[in-house]
Amino acid sequence: MSFVLGVTGGIATGKSTAVAHFRSLGLPIIDADIIAREVVEPNTEGLQAVTQAFGPQILTDDGHLDRQTLGALIFNDPEKRRILNQTLSPFIRQEILSQIEEKKQEVPLLIVDIPLLYEADYDQYMDQTAVIYVPEAIQKERLMARNQLTEQEAQQRIDSQLSIEKKKQRADIVFDNQGTIAQLNQQIDDWFASINK
């Protein structure tokens, strides 16, 4: 039997750091962000669907998705962002679920890294969910420092996601990342040891 752990967090809570540690333990990772990029590669149905929704101006001369142009279109337009998510969501979901099914045949433990785990109802496909957690005030501080954002810009990005406190309430496991990377890694190691008993 294979065990599937869905891992999520908020922007700047340290999810990538945590996932890197899971990877260093030799665990296979299904990465939703990578899949989201793969489903809009040239000549894919995903890219065709996005081009139909937003027009050919979102393509580069060589047929790739022009992420900057698309980003500019959707950044300040919630309706266009909703259309993009609605357009790509079925392609991303189908690929994530097929990779989960495939990997479950091969490995006893699988990590699925999904930023919008709860928002897009992926928790139903997981055996358990883990949230990489810091309080919002620390999240905002780290985001401002990391991306050189004003407080208002950082807050807007945080507000565009489900709040980290709500994610924490829904999680089966909370990895608290208010301390050092070593402390975060230790919590993951402890969990890994407990599941391997």
Both tokens of 28, joined, read 């296979």
Q: What is the C-alpha to C-alpha distance for residues 138 and 35, in angstroms, rounded to an integer?
A: 29
182-191 burial, b for 16+ CB within 10 Å, e for fewer?
A: eebbebbeeb
Do β-strands 109-113 and 29-31 pair in parallel, antiparallel, or remain unpaired?
Answer: parallel
12 is in an annotated binding site: yes
Where do the DSSP E strands lie in the chain? 3-9, 29-31, 109-113, 128-133, 173-176
Q: What is the largest CA-CA distance in the chain?
A: 54
Question: Backbone phi, then psi, for 5, in 5-degree steps?
Answer: -105, 120
In this prediction, what percent of the chain has a pLDDT beyond 90? 88
pLDDT at residue 176 tops 80: yes
* Residue 142 · residue 18 · CB < 8 Å: no
Tokens coding 79: 């309706």
15 is in an annotated binding site: yes
Average confidence (pLDDT) over 10-14: 95
pLDDT at 161 over 90: no
Cα–Cα distance, 161 to 107 (Å, whole number): 31
Instruction: Give first-to-last CA distance, the chain, whole Å.
Output: 15
**pLDDT at position 76, please?**
76
pTM of the entire predicted model: 0.90
- What is the rounded average pLDDT of the residues 103-109? 94
Q: Specify the 3-state DSSP secondary structure of 107.
A: coil
- The answer on whether 130 is annotated among ligand-binding residues is no
| Average pLDDT in the chain | 94
Known binder of ligand: residue 18?
A: no
3-state class (DSSP) for residue 35: helix
- Per-residue pLDDT tens for 17-76? 999 999 999 999 999 999 999 999 999 999 999 999 999 999 999 999 999 999 888 877
Distance CA 106, CA 168 (A): 30
17 is in an annotated binding site: yes
Q: Give the separation between CA 129 and CA 112, rounded to whole angstroms.
A: 9
pLDDT at 127: 97
CA 191, CA 197: separation in Å to the nearest integer?
A: 10
Q: Taking Cα atoms as reference points, which of 131, 158, 164 lies closest to residue 144?
A: 158
Q: What is the pLDDT of residues 114-145, one digit of tens each?
A: 999 999 999 999 999 999 999 999 999 999 99
CA distance 80 to 74: 5
| pLDDT for residue 196 | 83
Q: Is 71 annotated as a binding residue?
A: no
**pLDDT given at position 197:** 78
pLDDT at 78: 85
